[in-house]
Amino acid sequence: MNYAIEFKNVSKKFKNSKELAVNNVNLNIEKGSFVVLLGSSGSGKTTLLKMINGLYIKNEGEIYINGKEINSLNRTSLRRKIGYVIQQNGLFPHMNVYQNIATVPKIFKWSKDEIDIRINNLLQLVDLPDEYKHKYPNELSGGQQQRVGIARALAGNPSILLMDEPFASLDALTRTNLQDELLRIQKQQKKTILFVSHDIGEAIKLADKIVIMNNGKIIQYDTPYNIIKNPADTFVLNLIYAFKSFTEPFSNIYYNKV
């Protein structure tokens, strides 16, 4: 099978740490799939994500992007080809929405007409009115900022989108709306999305497959249905039990997935 991302025996240890942050991970991410990395703080999920675009350097193993080992790729070029969305949105405060989204296309030396068309299409995609092009980040709500962050990550038309708990700091209603928007975008754009979360409800709602991590290791990698029906161990079982107990009166997400 032709994978978008492959991890082969990948480990990462930070200086002054006795434990491995990522411990001998093997993982294959199919092209066009939506995969959620799920685990508690310190489980290794964000470290795993950041090794893909070279923000963290692996100590052992191999990571392949579209069949090419990342050590054979220029780091700057690699990062420009992978969209990246973080929790704090990372928008440049001195740039308006248009300028923020245009960052990567300008690096790619697109013409002004090409950039204009791309930005107009992306604003429509993330459901922001055209007049928002001239607004600055401090004039936007948290949800609007994250929509711009998603648009900017998609601006260079990357095949892979990395998202590190992008909705964690938002209120529940805004978070739900953005989850719905992201699912719509994924269905339309067919990007490979790797999404970090600590919320199993969010993971079940969004993911084609879920990677459950604990202490730097992958505990289970499967569809939401199979994880719920056949948890790999007591750690996964406790996650599922907590989710099912919490959602018992409001279990539409659970039953839609299974």
Confidence of residue 25 (pLDDT cuts 50, 70, 90): very high
More confident residue, 105 or 241: 105
Question: What SS3 state is found at 154?
Answer: helix
Helices 112-125 and 172-189 sit at what angle, rounded to 10 degrees? 120
pTM: 0.90
Q: What are phi and psi of 22, to 5 degrees?
A: -130, 130
DSSP 42-92: TSSHHHHHHHHTTSS--SEEEEEETTEEGGGS-HHHHHHTEEEEETT----
pLDDT of 253 higher than 70: no
H or E element that contains 133? none
Q: What are phi and psi of 250, to 5 degrees?
A: -130, 60
Confidence of residue 251 (pLDDT cuts 50, 70, 90): very low
Please state, rounded to an integer, the average pLDDT across all residues of the chain: 90
- What is d(CA 251, CA 227) in angstroms, rounded to the nearest whole number? 16
